Each structure stands twice: as structure tokens, then as C-alpha cells.
Amino acid sequence: MPLLELRHVYKAYGDPEDPLHALRDISFAIERGELVCMVGPSGGGKSTLLRLVAGLLHPTSGEILLDGKPVREPSPRVGIVFQNVNLMPWRTVRDNIALPLELAGEPRGRRYAIAQQLMELVALTGFEHSYPHQLSGGMQQRAAIARTLAQNPEILLLDEPFGALDAITRERLNQELLRIRRIRNQTIFMVTHAINEAVFLADRVLVLSQRPGSIKCEIPITLPHPRTDETLVDPNYLALMRRVRMAIDSPYQER
Ligand SMILES: Nc1ncnc2c1ncn2[C@@H]1O[C@H](COP(=O)(O)OP(=O)(O)OP(=O)(O)O)[C@@H](O)[C@H]1O
Ligand SMILES: [Mg+2]
């Protein structure tokens, strides 16, 4: 049984008399341990889709199953990192990361021990007592990811996590994300605008259409692991990027 399964999911916003159709007939599944990226045009419904999977929104019709059971409300089993970093400015980095543990009623010693491990994982050791405004954009993103990992989610949803960062920082954080994935065997579903990022990271790329978003096609990324700087000059990497780009531009439904 796949970890996550969407069956004929539709989502409309607003007045049922005059709805805004955000998503149309979305069906796909993600297996345990997979890293799947979704690309598509702005306004196509990508963030909407992640919010549905996180249980923050409900589909207008269709089903979302986690481990075979319907997702009805937010749960620690599904961790989401939003498009805009939302660290709490009045809390230190460590206290931000430990927040889910605090909400879960973990005692302070254990909270800080776990937060410390996660800070090491995302390379933020030494910034325990800093406040979010004292960190760079990339460091804030890593803190937000660490905070979500603190809830030990079975699936990690990332909404354009590195969108606002420069290309070099982004490449480094992509490498770090792959390392985190390897160490924790973490299942990841990530939304991105960047075709190169999607192809570099993913086992599979889903291409979403313009609004109302539907899945245009699914492209398996057959590049070897681990992905390294070598990957970036692999002719297959370039060919796959071209395929994804063509699928985004194509006016036809391939699936
Ligand atoms: N809470 C809401 N109420 C009404 N309409 C909404 C709401 N959230 C999103 N929408 C609409 O749904 C559509 C899809 O929005 P969504 O944010 O999911 O797109 P997106 O693919 O994430 O875009 P981007 O790449 O720019 O982040 C848009 O037309 C948007 O205006
Ligand atoms: Mg979005």
C-alpha cells in the first residue's frame, strides 16, 4: 500500500454558485521513502494541493489517503514547510525547532536534546540562541525544515522551500536535503518552480497544468544516486530537464 494516495481529488474555492476551480481530478500515489517533486505554473494549485494533503483544507470531492486511511485533519504524521518561512520571531532558533515537541508535551531536557540533533542535521549548530532575524534566508529555511522534522513526520511536504534563495545557496541546500533524506529515509513531496531542482532531487516529477491544476504527466527520473556535481553534467540530466520543460509547455494532456 502506498504511503500517500490521492484519488480523483477536486478542489474549488469560494461560492459554490461561482466557484474558483483550483484542482481537477488529481490522482497519484507516493511510496514510502520516495522523493517526488511537482512542478507547474504559478497559480496552478500546487500550494492548494499540499494544504489538502496536510489536512489543512478539504477536497471538494475525491479522497486523500495516508497509509490507506482518509486524511481529515492536520496530524503530526504529515509535516509541512510553507512557501513563506514562518518562524516565530520572539523565539530562539532552538525554541522554534523544539516547538512541535513542546506542543506534544515533551519535557524540556528531551526537547532540547532532539532540537540539538536536528540543528546538527541541518547544519545550524552554534545558532541555538540566535533569533530568526539574525539568520540568513537559507538558514531560516533550514530551521523551518528542522522544526517540521521535530514532529517526526512520515511524509515531509515542502512548498518551494528554496524559492527566494540565490542559485548557489539553493544547490547547497538541495544537497543537504538529499543528505537528510538519506539519513532519515524520509519520504518527501516537494513543490518547486525550478525544473533543474526537480530533476536533480526527485525520483519522479509530476507536472501540473495551468489552473484548474491537473496532472499532465509523470516523468521518472532515472539518474543514479547519489546525486552529485557529476549529475549536473550528465547528458541524461539535461535530456530529462528538456522533457520536463516540454511537458510544462505542452498544451496537451499526456495523461
Ligand atoms: N484561500 C483561498 N481562497 C480562494 N482562492 C484561493 C485560495 N488559495 C488559493 N486560491 C486560488 O487558487 C489558485 C491556486 O492557488 P495556489 O496558491 O494553490 O497556486 P500555486 O500553484 O501554489 O501558485 P504559486 O506557484 O504562485 O505559489 C489561485 O487562483 C489562487 O488565487
Ligand atoms: Mg504556491
- pLDDT tens for residues 17-27? 999 999 999 99
Does the structure show a pLDDT above 80 at 254?
no
Q: Is the CB of 48 under 6 A from ligand 1?
A: yes
Structural domain contains residue 185? no
Query: Which ligand has an atom closest to residue 40 CA?
Result: 1
**DSSP sequence for 124-159:** -TT-TT--GGGS-HHHHHHHHHHHHHTT--SEEEEE
Structural domain contains residue 163? no
Structural domain contains residue 121? yes
Strand order in the sheet with 69-70: 20-30, 4-13, 61-66, 69-70
Using the atom order of ligand 1, give the atom closest to the CA of residue 193: 25
CB under 8 Å, gap of 24 or more: what pairs does 132-138 form?
Answer: 132/85, 132/87, 132/88, 132/89, 132/91, 132/93, 132/96, 133/89, 135/93, 137/85, 137/164, 137/165, 137/169, 138/162, 138/165, 138/169, 138/172, 138/173
**pLDDT confidence of residue 166:** 82
Query: Which ligand has an atom closest to residue 51 CA?
Result: 1
Q: Please name the residues in contact with 188: beta carbons below 8 A apart, sequence gap of 6 or more.
A: 34, 35, 36, 155, 156, 157, 158, 177, 181
Strand partners, 29: 5
Q: Is the CB of 11 under 6 A from ligand 1?
A: no
CB under 8 Å, gap of 24 or more: what pairs does 135-143 form?
Answer: 135/93, 137/85, 137/164, 137/165, 137/169, 138/162, 138/165, 138/169, 138/172, 138/173, 140/85, 140/87, 141/81, 141/85, 141/165, 141/173, 142/173, 142/176, 143/85, 143/87, 143/93, 143/96, 143/97
Question: CA 21 to CA 212: how far, in whole Å?
Answer: 5
Three-state DSSP string of 196-212: HHHHHHCCEEEEECCCC
Q: Is the CB of 116 under 6 A from ligand 1?
A: no
Structural domain contains residue 165? no
Single-letter code of the amino acid located at 111: R
This prediction's pTM: 0.94
- pLDDT tens for residues 107-138? 999 999 999 999 998 889 999 999 999 998 88
**pLDDT confidence of residue 57:** 97
Q: Calculate mean pLDDT across residues 69-76.
A: 95
Q: Is the CB of 42 under 6 A from ligand 1?
A: yes
Domain that includes residue 95, residue range: 88-152
Does the structure show a pLDDT above 90 at 59?
yes
Closest residue to atom 5 of ligand 1, CA basis: 13
The rounded Å distance from CA 32 to ligand 2 centre is 24
Using the atom order of ligand 1, give the atom closest to the CA of residue 160: 27
Using the atom order of ligand 1, give the atom closest to the CA of residue 83: 27
Closest residue to atom 28 of ligand 1, CA basis: 43
Structural domain contains residue 205? no
- The SS3 assignment for 7 reads strand
Q: Is the CB of 239 under 6 A from ligand 1?
A: no
Q: How many distinct structural domains can be found in the chain?
A: 1
- pLDDT tens for residues 198-240? 999 999 999 999 999 999 999 999 999 999 989 999 999 999 9
Structural domain contains residue 238? no
**pLDDT confidence of residue 168:** 85
The rounded Å distance from CA 173 to ligand 2 centre is 19
Q: Is the CB of 22 under 6 A from ligand 1?
A: yes
Structural domain contains residue 188? no
Structural domain contains residue 44? no
